[in-house]
Amino acid sequence: MKINSNFLNLKDSYLFATVGRKTTEFKKAHPDKKVIRLSIGDVTRPLAPVVIGAMHRAVDDMSRKETFKGYGPDQYCYGYEALIDSIKGSYARKGIALESAEVFVSDGAKSDLGNILDLFAPENTVLVPDPVYPVYVDTNIMAGRKILYADANLANGFLPMPDFSVDADIIYLCSPNNPTGAAYTKEQLKEWVRYATEKNAVLLYDAAYEYFITDPALARSIYQIEGAKKCAIEFCSYSKTAGFTGVRCGYTVVPQELVREGVSLNKLWARRQSTKFNGVSYITQMGAAAVFTEEGEKEISENLDYYRENAKIIANCLDGLGIFYTGGKNSPYIWMKCPLGMDSWEFFDYLLENANVVGTPGSGFGKNGEGFFRLTAFGTKEDTQEACSRIELLLRK
Amino acid sequence: MKINSNFLNLKDSYLFATVGRKTTEFKKAHPDKKVIRLSIGDVTRPLAPVVIGAMHRAVDDMSRKETFKGYGPDQYCYGYEALIDSIKGSYARKGIALESAEVFVSDGAKSDLGNILDLFAPENTVLVPDPVYPVYVDTNIMAGRKILYADANLANGFLPMPDFSVDADIIYLCSPNNPTGAAYTKEQLKEWVRYATEKNAVLLYDAAYEYFITDPALARSIYQIEGAKKCAIEFCSYSKTAGFTGVRCGYTVVPQELVREGVSLNKLWARRQSTKFNGVSYITQMGAAAVFTEEGEKEISENLDYYRENAKIIANCLDGLGIFYTGGKNSPYIWMKCPLGMDSWEFFDYLLENANVVGTPGSGFGKNGEGFFRLTAFGTKEDTQEACSRIELLLRK
């Protein structure tokens, strides 16, 4: 028996563990200090009332013989039509028409972003932005694929554009980006679609944060770009959109027009999912189906606005201090340049010790993250305000 | 860009589609006949009240800032301790001690049975019983592995034993079996553990139906066999145990002692899951945690007994007719020899036309299924009784 030895090439990430350990140690040494965490990558606002109501009703359905639901419907890989229709409605409001068979309901974008790789041969070359969400890199290391990096940096505002001299088969884009908060305009994405088309590549477009976008120049879906249905798969999530990080529901769009080597990737993914997956809880699906209703959109907007307001507080603080950052608008993440010439971990220690504020060192997201620092908008408004007052006081000196 | 061409080697299965089409056509042609489906592979009884109560409380938790839950706990790959403890309790009652870090909560055994293959090199040889649940074969075809079959047939009572002259690296066992209902004794499994140990292979033990077992000579877990922790991974599910087919929750045990090529498979699986998975809904986990409580076990027993009673009705009917079958006891499945020398599809048509009863042709589960037929206990008692009366009337002639 041979193990998959590619696993041995994975590097252990101590980023969040080290952040946690240092924070705990500081608190222990300074029990009188109130430490504020602007490092939270998880949502903190409760689920919208319309979602809660739908879930209670779905639980009740499961309690009665007459309304009990077993395996989800076969037709669309276990996705209920009510949910798929509501997702199609959300797309329609962005000007995108989808067929039901193009929408796949899953337990979250992270699962699908990893599992989608089953469809591709190990020999493909992968292009990943740096810095980025570590899952893109690790899942491809597990499969033994060659990985190239597209440098995101100060020069390009952390939005790398395609280099046509580089050949890639699988391209990851995340917009608004985690960790940088930077979001592509529709104009910029046209270039990426042109590149993917020319290289006969497939774009894996992670749109998990698209509901934070309010600027109409920015793309909310890759399918707002002409030709994208022939080269892109899009991954979406209710996690940040509707606070579903603990509920687990996402959706992936694989267009019928997306064909490689004469084979429909839509059909391949349907076969993958019907063989290695068995759908999402009926209760979760009914809750998710309530999100993109008129009432649901109104209620999730209140939560999104709450986080947007936090992002703005942080952005205003950095503006006042004259510190470069990306994100903050159209994104829950703020990616700041470390001041005073510090590297990422130096600034982490400096901020923790002097302002009792915790963030995430950018170097943990890739080599281009060195010298940068991630703050997030997922805390409470009060904490965010207080943290910013402390940061101002510290860095204005 | 190259697709994973192994997908092109998959055969489309028309088994359940054809069963459905033939049934629909018959109903259309005979609107006056009451057709009874003993082909149902899905549960029909509602969730236990204790599960419903736990789920309602969990939904309420998600509605309040103070009790809201985001991402599941990192420590055990997003499994909540209350759930993991209850699973350990269920194992303890079978005489098996597990550590928390050996229990992985998932969205179902089907997902894990497919995803576990990420840990193994494509060059491994796989041994699969025939007939069997088609997922074992299809997931390995997708990965391009060589597949050998262990013949299950009349001669071995559909419980194949190891052939030490055959070399295999990954071995699937499913007990009680789907589709045959046959279940291994502890004595028989000792041989399989001895074989896996000698071959340095890994046993993938699918125990999805173990809660149907009442005979103490039969194994409820592979870990009831000495040495199994050094060679086996066990897959369990709340689907049939507690009616969770539409809720999606399972658990997989990867023992710390299971090491291959000097690498802990427990650590590999933890890395796989933390990279390509993000846990199961808090609501689902709280519902599942109620299953293996004292009250929960009592309530699920009532549903299990209901299905067991149906299985007994079918078994008694076949006993009276002198027809060979496996399962029926310790299993929700009854695997019968087709009477009158008919093949599987001939008997399907004969039974549908003359008794208006639908079953599943055994040939759909592998070559050794030809000439056999699967009936299930997941219908109502009334329908099961009526179907059996009709079968008796038809076959006694």
A70 with B42: Cβ contact below 8 A: yes
Chain A environment of B56 (Cβ under 8 Å): 56, 59
Cβ A234 vs Cβ A90: under 8 Å: no
B55 with A4: Cβ contact below 8 A: no
A3 with B72: Cβ contact below 8 A: no
B169 with A62: Cβ contact below 8 A: no
What residues contact A216, with CB distance under 8 A and at least 6 apart? none
**pLDDT higher than 80, residue B397:** no
**pLDDT higher than 90, residue A124:** yes
Kindly report, residue by residue over A7-17, the tens digit of the pLDDT.
999 988 788 88
What the block records as the tokens of A46 is 């409760």
Kindly report, residue by residue over A314-327, the tens digit of the pLDDT.
999 999 999 999 99
Average pLDDT over residues B136-164: 97
User: Tell me, what DSSP letter sits at residue B247?
Assistant: T
Q: Where does residue B155 rank: exposed (0-12), middle (13-18), buried (19+ CB within 10 A)?
A: exposed
Q: How confident is the model at residue B263 (pLDDT cuts 50, 70, 90)?
A: very high
Would the ipTM clear 0.95, i.e. be above it?
A: yes
Best B281, B291, B382 member to test A by mutation, with max A CBs in 10 Å, is: B281
Conformational region of residue B370, where left means phi above 0, alpha means psi within -120 to 50, and beta covers everything else: beta
- CA B393 to chain A, closest CA, distance in angstroms equals 30
pLDDT for residue A318:
98
Cβ A179 vs Cβ A335: under 8 Å: yes
Q: What is the distance between the alpha carbons of residues B265 and B258, in angstroms, rounded to a whole number?
A: 6
Q: DSSP string of A98-134? A: --GGGEEEES-HHHHHHHGGGGB-TT-EEEEEES--T
User: Tell me, what DSSP letter sits at residue B367?
Assistant: G
Q: What is the distance between the alpha carbons of residues B146 and B151, in angstroms, rounded to a whole number?
A: 16
Kindly report, residue by residue over A65-104, the tens digit of the pLDDT.
999 999 999 999 999 999 999 999 999 999 999 999 999 9
What residues contact B10, with CB distance under 8 A and at least 6 apart? A271, B138, B141, B142
Q: How confident is the model at residue A41 (pLDDT cuts 50, 70, 90)?
A: confident
Q: What is the distance between the alpha carbons of residues B158 and B142, in angstroms, rounded to a whole number?
A: 27
What the block records as the tokens of A300 is 């999730």
pLDDT for residue A16:
87
pTM of the model: 0.97
Domains of chain A and CATH, by start = 5-46+297-396 (3.90.1150.10), 49-294 (3.40.640.10)
What the block records as the tokens of B82 is 């209350």
B49 with A59: Cβ contact below 8 A: no
Kindly report, residue by residue over A352-387, the tens digit of the pLDDT.
999 999 999 999 999 999 999 999 999 999 999 999
Residue in A closest to B197 by C-alpha: A1
What residues contact A181, with CB distance under 8 A and at least 6 apart? A325, A326, A327, A328, A330, A331, A332, A333, A334, A335
Q: What is the distance between the alpha carbons of residues A372 and A369, in angstroms, rounded to a whole number?
A: 5
